[in-house]
A and B are shown apart, each in its own frame.
Chain A
Amino acid sequence: EAGVAQSPRYKIIEKRQSVAFWCNPISGHATLYWYQQILGQGPKLLIQFQNNGVVDDSQLPKDRFSAERLKGVDSTLKIQPAKLEDSAVYLCASSSLGSGFTSGNTIYFGEGSWLTVV
């Protein structure tokens, strides 16, 4: 089974520029997550989709960050304009809607997209 795919793996941009990250979740997974992980800290949830609807975006800085999942599969996360403090790893993850205890609910992560804002 293929895992969560993310691109680009690394990106360096200047402050005030824009950047977009792409994610392809595990096939059949209805729920998709974007996390931000600053060096030395645990991942922080930015936004959670169920199919193509937003479940939780309470920690997404909406003045500069946006995310979409138009067809309920792939997703993009955009930052515009970027600030120095946006330097972090952006992790995409997905999970299924399994109803049993041993099925679904487990979140699977991609390798992350490393962003450096200079």
Chain B
Amino acid sequence: DAKTTQPPSMDCAEGRAANLPCNHSTISGNEYVYWYRQIHSQGPQYIIHGLKNNETNEMASLIITEDRKSSTLILPHATLRDTAVYYCIVRKKGNAGKSTFGDGTTLTVKP
């Protein structure tokens, strides 16, 4: 599975959009981009995933560049409860691929 690169930390003001970048320059055509977050003392929580089109759900939006080498997770109106570590991983469809987590981005939402 492709390796991902994320900034170690980011800050965001409460109520503003949080834009979390992820580089996955070695992604292959059959690999999806997944985003998870982990709030302190809890297991990782699924947020969203995509292949090449932009995706939106009730939690977030995912923007994937045309060449698929990078993506951005957008939390449109960040709240204090969104403070967490955010992980970007790439994974093949189905369960054949290993899901390799990096160290993620620690997002701190400030009042």
Contacts and interface: CB of A to CB of B under 8 A. Distances in A.
A45 to B, nearest CB: 6
B93 A41 contact: no
Interface string A20-48: 00000000001101010000111111001
Contacts, number: 60
B109 to A, nearest CB: 20
Interface in B41-90: 41-46, 49, 51, 85, 87
A42 B87 contact: yes
A70 interface: no
A50 B96 CA distance: 9
Given A42-B101, A45-B98, A48-B98, A101 B43 contact: no
B102 to A, nearest CB: 5
B95 A31 contact: yes
Q: Which of under 10, 10 to 19, 20 to 34, or 35 or more describes the interface residues of A?
A: 20 to 34
Given A31-B95, A42-B104, A43-B101, A111 B42 contact: yes
A95 B91 CA distance: 13
Contact of B103 (A42, A50, A99): A42
A104 B32 CA distance: 13
Interface in A48-84: 48, 50, 55-56
Contacts of A55: 95-96
A73 B42 CA distance: 23
24 contacts: A31-B95, A35-B101, A40-B103, A42-B102, A42-B104, A44-B101, A45-B98, A45-B99, A48-B98, A55-B95, A91-B44, A93-B44, A95-B95, A97-B94, A97-B95, A105-B32, A105-B49, A105-B95, A106-B49, A107-B34, A108-B46, A109-B45, A111-B41, A111-B42
Given A48-B95, A107-B99, A111-B43, 6 more contacts: A41-B103, A42-B103, A43-B44, A56-B98, A101-B51, A106-B49
Interface of B: 32, 34, 36, 41-46, 49, 51, 85, 87, 91, 93-96, 98-104
